[in-house]
A = this chain, B = another copy of it.
Amino acid sequence: MKLEQMFAGRTKRMKASEIRELLKLLDQPGIISFAGGIPDPALFPAEAFSKALSACMTDHAASALQYSVSEGYRPLRGWLVGEMAKIGVPCDVDNILITSGSQQALDYLGRLFLSPGDTALVNWPTYMGALGAFNPYEPRYDQLSINGNRAPEDYVQAAQEATGGRVKFAYLSSDFSNPTGETVDLRGRQNLLDLAEAVDCAVIEDAAYQALRYDGSDIPPILALEIARKGDIEACRTIYCGSFSKTLSPGLRVGWIVAAKPVIAQLVLMKQASDLHSPTLNQMAINHVARSCFEDHVATVRGAYGARRDAMLAALATYMPPGVDWTRPEGGMFVWLTLPVAVDGADLLAQALETQKVAFVPGHAFFADGSGRNTIRLSFSCADEATIDEGVRRLAAALRAALGA
């Protein structure tokens, strides 16, 4: 038997995420790309990282290059304790695990909670990397609704009847979500907590974009709201996943999980068995940069991306034909377009690349049920304002052509 036949049954569980294909698109000359959900490398705090790496290697080379504990570098966890306190999440270092990006957090949480046939509640659409992380554990997906128009018992009953499993968690990105750019308001967060109580499931709060707000007011994380209800993180069912990928650097792969200690203790064992620990040097360098210039750097990034968001919203208003709707995100990297139902986002991409040299991500890949054919995601993070204007003009031209207008 060929080796690949031994795991043939497993292939279908895995789904390629976007990064791979999109990095290829970005490489093509002349393409204006709104595809990659990646930060602008020109905004990386490269100078601060150079200094940090140099300081780590001068003062702590032996520990920077050595094995370290699975929980993560303690000074970095200490800094995060301070940051979490600022956003209403009092906790201590034992409530925090450092992960290799928040993608690893999602993988671990899928592994921790999901047995085949269990149900995960997700938005339609949701972050496709989350579906990629959960898929290997063979869950059933159900559509999360936080506007109270579906009874909690209905989720429980549907999970039981469909595959004999339980609803294990609700996953959502609460701020400026990937792919829609939308934010869950305070009432929505409270509704979600009510729903999770009634269903008796965990809440996975993906806060990857939380720091990137360009206007409007901060809304407390779901975990903060639950702590306010219950008085103590140890009583909470919300698991918060943070990341430095959108603020400092994605390439260093440093994220974190905040949760009740028994959850963290299990995840530490999982981390130990799966890759021992996240790289020591990377955690030390992130700690150094975070302590030296996190707030200032995030302010710079917000200024740049905020101007790009404004440019994209203005260009959409200028160029888009009637019948197209889009979100008005208060932060993050994405605007989500709903096209006339006759337009397929994947077909439009092929055509737009060919005729207009503009790229984006077709929306249906973000739907657990494969729907959303007439949606697309635009990222404004990696292009300057003039390029955004030109790219949206091109996209509108491709769309008009598709509509036969």
**A280 (CB) vs chain B CBs: closest residue:** B251
Among candidates B46, B66, B252, B276, residue contacting A103 with C-beta atoms closer than 8 Å: B276
A65 CA to B286 CA, complexed, in Å: 11
Interface of A is mostly: helix
A63 within 8 Å of B (CB atoms)? yes
A residues contacting the other copy or chain, number (CB 8 A): 79
A168 within 8 Å of B (CB atoms)? yes
Chain B nearest Cβ from A58, distance in angstroms: 8
Cross-chain contact B66 with A46 (CB below 8 angstroms): no
* Segment touching B, from A37-45, A85-93, A177-185: A37-45
Question: Which residues of chain B are near A53, meaning CB under 8 Å?
Answer: 53-54, 57
* Segment touching B, from A131-139, A326-334, A339-347, A353-361: A131-139
Among candidates B3, B249, B278, residue contacting A253 with C-beta atoms closer than 8 Å: B278
**A36 (CB) vs chain B CBs: closest residue:** B67
Question: Which residues of chain B are near A14, meaning CB under 8 Å?
Answer: 266, 269-270, 273
Question: Which residues of chain B are near A1, meaning CB under 8 Å?
Answer: 200
A67 CA to B36 CA, complexed, in Å: 10
Cross-chain contact B272 with A132 (CB below 8 angstroms): yes
Cross-chain contact A70 with B250 (CB below 8 angstroms): no
Chain B nearest Cβ from A296, distance in angstroms: 17
Interface positions of A from 213 to 268, Cβ below 8 Å from B:
237, 239, 245, 249-253, 259-260, 262-263, 266
Cross-chain contact B253 with A275 (CB below 8 angstroms): yes
Among candidates B136, B200, B245, B252, residue contacting A281 with C-beta atoms closer than 8 Å: B252
Question: Which residues of chain B are near A62, meaning CB under 8 Å?
Answer: 41-42, 44, 46
Question: Which residues of chain B are near A135, meaning CB under 8 Å?
Answer: 273
What per-residue 1/0 map shows which CB atoms of A84-104 lie under 8 Å from chain B?
Answer: 000000000000000011011
Cross-chain contact B49 with A61 (CB below 8 angstroms): yes
Question: Which residues of chain B are near A64, meaning CB under 8 Å?
Answer: 251
Interface positions of A from 168 to 227, Cβ below 8 Å from B:
168, 200, 202
What per-residue 1/0 map shows which CB atoms of A309-330 lie under 8 Å from chain B?
Answer: 0000000000000000000000
**A201 (CB) vs chain B CBs: closest residue:** B6
Cross-chain contact B263 with A3 (CB below 8 angstroms): yes
Interface centre among A10, A65, A112, by most chain B C-beta atoms within 10 angstroms, is A65
Known: A50-B58, A100-B275. 14 other contacts (CB 8 A): A4-B263, A14-B266, A14-B270, A15-B269, A17-B276, A41-B62, A44-B62, A44-B65, A46-B57, A66-B250, A67-B250, A100-B100, A103-B273, A136-B273
Q: Which residues of A contact B (CB under 8 A)?
A: 1-4, 6-7, 10-11, 14-17, 19-20, 23, 38-39, 41-42, 44, 46, 49-50, 53-54, 57-58, 61-70, 100-101, 103-104, 107, 111-113, 129, 132-133, 135-136, 168, 200, 202, 237, 239, 245, 249-253, 259-260, 262-263, 266, 269-270, 272-282
